[in-house]
Amino acid sequence: MGFLRILEIISLITTLIGLYLLGEKVALGFIIFTVSLGCQIYIFYKGKNWFLVVQMIVLITFNIFNYFKWIGG
Structure confidence at residue 18 (pLDDT): 87
Rounded to the nearest 10 degrees, how much is the dihedral formed by the CA atoms of 33, 39, 45, 47? -110
State the Rg of the chain over Cα. 13
What is the arithmetic mean of pLDDT over 7-19? Answer: 91
Structure confidence at residue 36 (pLDDT): 93
pLDDT at 73 over 70: no
pLDDT at 5 over 80: yes
List the chain domain ranges: 3-72
23-50 pLDDT, tens digit per residue, is 888 888 888 989 999 999 999 999 999 9
What stretches of 1-73 show up as alpha helix (H) in DSSP? 3-23, 28-46, 50-72
Rounded to the nearest 10 degrees, how much is the dihedral formed by the CA atoms of 21, 27, 29, 33? 160
Structure confidence at residue 70 (pLDDT): 84
